[in-house]
Structure 1
Amino acid sequence: MFNRFYPDEDVASAYDIPYDALYKKGIRGVIFDVDNTLVPHDAPADERAKNLFSHLRALGMDTCLLSNNKEPRVAAFAEAVGGSNYIYKGGKPGVKNYKKAMELMGTSLNSTIFVGDQLFTDVYGAKRTGIRSFLVKPINPKEEIQIVLKRYPEALILFFYRRDKKRRQYDKRKK
């Protein structure tokens, strides 16, 4: 029932994802949410974010920021990390701008991943589009009220996701 909201992977941070290994497996584009995925809400790009984007470019990966935020916020962040593609007022979880992000990067469903911190916008939109999704823990617990309210049902879904994940791992070990 909740499977449509389950991420393909869950990791502590966008900075913990094994991008080098993903590149070797054919990933050529990364779509990122910005706020609470890469930096705290409304924070400027920090050195860690700049270094990540520099590393991804050095690997040969392209990036696109996909945010429901307004253009001044997203454009400034994109410029600060070295000129990433970006889409503002992205309409997540709609699929239109996930597809547009892939067009901007010249990637396909199989060569793109999405990284975000919210199930109902980020992960659900990526799943609807057919992109592999990585859920990261929010960087800062201080969030806007509409996001705080979504975190309660997210917690319930994550409970079932982690339970199902443990069962699958157990079943694999049994075989």
Structure 2
Amino acid sequence: MSKLYPWAEAASAYQIDYQKEYDNGVRGVLFDVDNTLVRHGEPATKQAKELFEHLRSIGLKTCIISNNKEPRVSPFAKEVGSDYIYKAGKPSVRGYEDAMKRIHTTPDTTIFIGDQIFTDIYGANRAGIRTYLVQPIHPKEEIQIVLKRYIERIVLFFYHRRNKR
């Protein structure tokens, strides 16, 4: 069960203290896109572009890792100035490992930010990467994701109960 638990939670990818992460040795940040950085299918927002600019300014390398196809991921990555992996096969560790190779980091120097436990968090945990679970940006999601959210609530119940101890 612990492979499903995030290392930390944040209200948003935009509220994480990336400078603190950098000061603690992190050199790379992997991101999910849809409902983590923007609403499903939307292009990069001004807020997303500013975040990636900030990350570069403090010395962090980035890679977007998505199960979506290249026509969705590539334009977004270009807009924010990030490397990317499309059709990553999350929760397989392959996509996470490929992303770390691209940005020349290791599991010890990388963090992952995503909004789904069973793909994002589980896969990154299996790859040995510290994870941040963020709240979905928008409640409107595909039906298969909506169904997974019910099960995620159960996982988070036990995660929060464990953390209270």
TM bracket, shorter-chain basis: over 0.9
Q: Does 1:148 align with 2:118?
A: no
Match of 1:105 in 2: 103
Q: 2:78 & 2:128 partners in 1: Cα distance?
A: 28
Q: 1:17 & 1:166 partners in 2: Cα distance?
A: 22
Q: 1:120 & 1:46 partners in 2: Cα distance?
A: 26
Q: Post-superposition shift, 1:17? A: 0.6
Aligned residue type for 1:17 = I
Aligned residue type for 2:13 = A
User: Structure 1: any 5+ residue segments left out of the alignment?
Assistant: 168-175
Q: 1:15-164 to 2 correspondence within 5 Å?
A: 15-82=14-81, 84-164=82-162
Q: 2:20 & 2:127 partners in 1: Cα distance?
A: 23
Aligned residue type for 2:18 = Y
DSSP 3-state at the match of 1:125: helix
Q: Post-superposition shift, 1:36? A: 0.2
Q: 1:99 & 1:88 partners in 2: Cα distance?
A: 13
Q: 1:114 & 1:165 partners in 2: Cα distance?
A: 20
Identity of matched residues, %: 60
DSSP 3-state at the match of 1:65: strand
Task: Calculate the TM-score normalised by the size of structure 1.
Answer: 0.93
Runs of 4+ in 1 over 2 A off after TM superposition: none
Q: 1:16 & 1:42 partners in 2: Cα distance?
A: 22
DSSP 3-state at the match of 1:152: helix
Q: 1:48 & 1:103 partners in 2: Cα distance?
A: 27
Match of 1:171 in 2: none
Task: Calculate the TM-score normalised by the size of structure 2.
Answer: 0.99
Deviations 1:115-162 (Å, cap 9, x if unpaired)?
000000000000100000000000000000010010010000001111
Q: Post-superposition shift, 1:4? A: 1.6
DSSP 3-state at the match of 2:52: helix
User: Structure 2: any 5+ residue segments left out of the alignment?
Assistant: none
Q: Post-superposition shift, 1:166? A: 1.2
Q: 1:27 & 1:126 partners in 2: Cα distance?
A: 15
How many residues are paired up? 165
DSSP 3-state at the match of 1:115: strand
